[in-house]
């Protein structure tokens, strides 16, 4: 069985300008790996409507799941919801269910639900809302696209809330071993094992500790017995 | 004048599996912004030859500069150099100039230049080498594609070495002000200013400190007088 595939689209000028270091991609990568969903691609794009629309259309065709992060707040540069609606040719307007959630949230916190905040109730027709336990304003699911907030704490809460609804695959087993040799010395053994176990992913990541080079070798795959076999073989040949 | 455009392609399964949090994208974003080069897009893709080739072909057409990170080491999953050669239909083999650099480096460090390490001397015909002061093995420039290592320390050294050769644009001036109000309260003022100064980018980034919401408003643009004017107006209307 092949695992479901996914992409994440991080939307926001602030990542591309270097102001902010993205955290959502890394968080989602870990969560999906555990769920047996293959994150195949991540893209960071600017707050540019044409770009957002075309990237969403492309990835929603290519992948089982597409996750977006950013651009669903109350300000003028928050254009993600409208772009997603356009990408799927759906009408979009302030929706009563979303407005009610915002009204409840702002009533509780004693803040006015003004025109700007009402923008966050703009949800495409047919989309399912994603709960936001942190700051009220919901995300949404349209087709296979999961539209979530950019603020990491809210993004993480939304991921947690949609996760049970995703169809996961076989979670990959991952084991690692540190070899105190340079990558160039262990490469032949890695190549040999990669050829012998074509279904496993064998990666090596060089490090330097106390002036000495080493490699962290990570073996990943659905078959834990094979993974263990490769780790044992690495230890036998290289430690 | 329009600033030159750029994209970065981060190549490596380890980022998409969540093992490693990317640092190179964030580093490059800051450096390019200072140089007046617009980073328009970042992609993270797996060690998959077809994908690497097609992404490089697409982005090298769309952008003035493309930077890659990762996949130029000595192991079986280091396929970036061969993919770049294929993307531009160039022959690739072990090149004497690169071999000499490796030989010098390994002679100095007393390590054998074996077959695996020689892979790192595979450079496409016509490419210009990028110096690697950290671990010897060079990156290279082919057409408008800058091929660099994934290890952050090496990536950063390579960026520093190619930077003087890039044609920069007008560096953007960036100023920020913290407003201790929620985004929903300041949105109308931001919208008004964004309409009045269409060449500036005005972004707001919500934060929460000691239980209170606030927004960090960042104003960016080539015209520093306009940027200052907007910041003054924000302070006058919102502080």
- Token pair listed for A84: 């997603």
Chain A residue at shortest CA distance from B27: A18
- State mean pLDDT over A148-170: 93
Show pLDDT as tens, one digit a residue, over chain B (239 residues). 689 999 999 999 899 999 999 999 999 999 999 899 999 999 999 999 999 999 999 999 999 999 999 999 999 889 999 999 999 999 999 999 999 999 999 999 888 999 999 999 999 999 999 999 998 999 999 999 999 999 999 999 999 999 999 988 888 888 999 999 988 899 999 999 999 999 998 988 888 777 778 899 999 988 999 999 999 999 999 98
Answer whether A182 touches B (CB < 8 Å): yes
pLDDT in tens, A189-209: 999 999 999 999 898 888 877
Name the A residues in 6-65 with CB < 8 Å from any B CB. 12-22, 25-33, 38-46, 51
- What ipTM did this prediction achieve? 0.91
pLDDT in tens, A52-93: 999 999 999 999 999 999 999 999 889 999 999 999 999 999
A81 secondary structure, DSSP code: H
Supply the pLDDT for residue B173: 87
Query: Least CB-CB distance to B42: which of A20, A43, A187?
Result: A43
Q: Is A12 left (phi over 0), alpha (psi -120 to 50) or beta?
A: left
Supply the pLDDT for residue B5: 97
- Token pair listed for A39: 């994150």
- State mean pLDDT over A159-163: 95
Residue of A186, A8, A180, A47 lying closest to B15 (CA atoms): A8
Contact B17 A75 (CB under 8 A): no
Supply the pLDDT for residue A170: 82
| Interface test with chain B among A5, A6, A19, by most B beta carbons within 10 Å | A19
| Interface test with chain A among B22, B47, B75, by most A beta carbons within 10 Å | B75
Residue of B80, B172, B18 lying closest to A27 (CA atoms): B18
Q: How far apart are CA B207 and CA B176, in angstroms?
A: 14
Q: Which helix (H) or strand (E) holds A71?
A: none
Contact A15 B29 (CB under 8 A): yes
Q: How far apart are CA B22 and CA A44, in angstroms?
A: 12
Supply the pLDDT for residue A237: 94
Contact A126, A90 (CB under 8 A): yes
Contact B187 A75 (CB under 8 A): yes
Q: Is the pLDDT of residue A211 over 80?
A: no
Q: Is the pLDDT of residue A1 over 80?
A: no
pTM: 0.92
| Interface test with chain A among B159, B184, B201, B216, by most A beta carbons within 10 Å | B184
Question: How are beta strands A201-209 and A212-221 bridged, if at all?
Answer: antiparallel
Contact A183 B74 (CB under 8 A): yes
Answer whether B202 touches A (CB < 8 Å): yes
Contact B16 A182 (CB under 8 A): no
- State mean pLDDT over A227-238: 95
Q: How far apart are CA B61 and CA B87, in angstroms?
A: 11
pLDDT in tens, A86-136: 999 999 999 999 999 999 999 998 889 999 999 999 999 999 999 999 989
Alpha carbon B52 to its chain's center = 16
Min CA distance, A141 vs chain B (Å)?
Answer: 22
Q: Is the pLDDT of residue A166 over 80?
A: yes
Answer whether B114 touches A (CB < 8 Å): yes
Burial class (CB in 10 A: 0-12, 13-18, 19+), A72: buried
Chain A residue at shortest CA distance from B215: A75
Answer whether B193 touches A (CB < 8 Å): no
Chain A residue at shortest CA distance from B173: A17
Q: How far apart are CA B208 and CA B153, in angstroms?
A: 33
Question: Across chain A, what does the average pLDDT equal?
Answer: 93
Contact B206 A22 (CB under 8 A): no
Min CA distance, B56 vs chain A (Å)?
Answer: 14
Supply the pLDDT for residue B1: 65
Measured between beta carbons, the chain B residues lying within 8 angstroms of A184 are 74, 111, 114, 116-117, 120
Contact A190 B76 (CB under 8 A): yes
């Amino acid at each position: 069985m092949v695992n479901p595939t996914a992409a994440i689209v991080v939307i926001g000028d602030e990542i591309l300008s270097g102001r902010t270091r993205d955290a959502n991609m890394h968080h989602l990568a870990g969560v999906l790996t555990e769920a047996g969903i293959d994150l195949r691609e991540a893209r960071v794009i600017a707050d540019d409507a044409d770009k957002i629309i075309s990237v969403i259309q492309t990835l929603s065709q290519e992948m089982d799941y597409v996750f977006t992060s950013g651009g669903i707040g109350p300000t003028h540069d928050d254009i993600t919801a409208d772009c997603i609606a356009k990408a799927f040719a759906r009408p979009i307007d302030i929706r009563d269910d979303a407005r009610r959630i915002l009204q409840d949230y702002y009533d509780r916190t004693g803040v006015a639900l003004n025109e700007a905040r009402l923008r966050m109730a703009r949800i495409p027709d047919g989309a399912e809302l994603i709960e936001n336990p942190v700051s009220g304003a919901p995300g949404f699911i349209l087709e296979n696209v999961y539209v979530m907030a950019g603020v990491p704490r809210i993004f993480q809460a939304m991921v947690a809330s949609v996760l049970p609804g995703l169809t996961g695959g076989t979670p990959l087993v991952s084991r690692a071993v540190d070899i105190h040799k340079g990558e160039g010395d262990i490469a032949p053994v890695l190549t040999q094992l990669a050829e012998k176990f074509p279904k496993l992913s064998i990666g090596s990541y060089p490090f330097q500790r106390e002036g000495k080079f080493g490699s962290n070798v990570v073996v990943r795959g659905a078959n834990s017995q094979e993974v263990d076999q490769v780790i044992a073989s690495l230890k036998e040949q290289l430690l």
